[in-house]
């Protein structure tokens, strides 16, 4: 009797193991389906995020171009920055070394003894001020020997300034240019010569 019981128990265990194995297979298939669905949803979401990001980037570029145009045309009409009259004004000036563009200046104003380098952004951030000082000014000096005896003044402008950016620019003696509606306002108090 005990042998029959063992056989029945063994058969029951075998049956249970078979059922568990089948359940695991079914569970694995369902898990794979769920994983595939999540990956499909994730891919669709990523594509939507990329599309929105490109759209936002386009808006940022358009706003930046608008600020740059407003600042350039205001300076072009006046041909004056910080009370200094300039003879020439140029927009989007590439600083080139060999065949490599090192940087681009948004606005460059020149007269017989002074150069004004103006950076224009939609939203001016602290990094833009640092870039103007460390990259744009440095590359201009290093790659334009014709202006080595010229005084250089700097300006940075935009439609909005982050608090740290404006404070840093003022601290470093950089003129502030702000686009306000259809007007362009200048604050060159404390501007310094570089």
pLDDT tens digits, one per residue of 86-138: 999 999 999 998 889 999 999 999 999 999 999 999 999 999 999 999 999 99
* Predicted structure pTM score: 0.71
CATH at residue 45: 3.40.1350.10
State the chain's mean pLDDT as an integer: 88
Q: In the predicted model, is pLDDT for residue 1 greater than 60?
A: no
Number of domains in the chain: 1
The pLDDT value given to residue 34: 82
Nearest by Cα to 66 from 94, 31, 106: 106
Strand-pairing partners, residue 88, are 110
Higher-confidence residue of 13 and 158: namely 158
The pLDDT value given to residue 158: 95
Domain containing 42 equals 1-194
């Amino acid at each position: 009797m005990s042998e029959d019981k063992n056989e029945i128990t063994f058969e029951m265990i075998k049956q249970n193991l078979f059922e568990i194995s089948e359940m695991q297979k079914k569970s694995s298939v369902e898990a794979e389906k769920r994983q595939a669905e999540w990956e499909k949803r994730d891919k669709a979401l990523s594509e939507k995020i990329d599309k929105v990001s490109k759209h936002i980037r386009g808006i940022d570029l358009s706003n930046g171009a608008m600020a740059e145009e407003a600042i350039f045309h205001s300076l072009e009409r006046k041909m004056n920055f910080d009370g200094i009259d300039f003879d020439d004004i140029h927009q989007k000036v590439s600083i080139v070394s060999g065949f490599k563009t090192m940087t681009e200046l948004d606005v460059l104003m020149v007269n017989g003894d002074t150069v004004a380098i103006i950076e224009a952004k939609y939203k001016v951030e602290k990094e833009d001020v640092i870039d103007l000082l460390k990259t744009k000014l440095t590359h201009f000096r290093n790659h334009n020997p014709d202006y080595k005896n010229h005084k250089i003044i700097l300006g940075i402008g935009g439609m909005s300034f982050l608090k740290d950016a404006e404070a840093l620019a003022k601290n470093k003696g950089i003129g502030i240019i702000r686009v306000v509606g259809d007007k362009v306002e200048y604050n060159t108090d404390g501007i310094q010569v570089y």
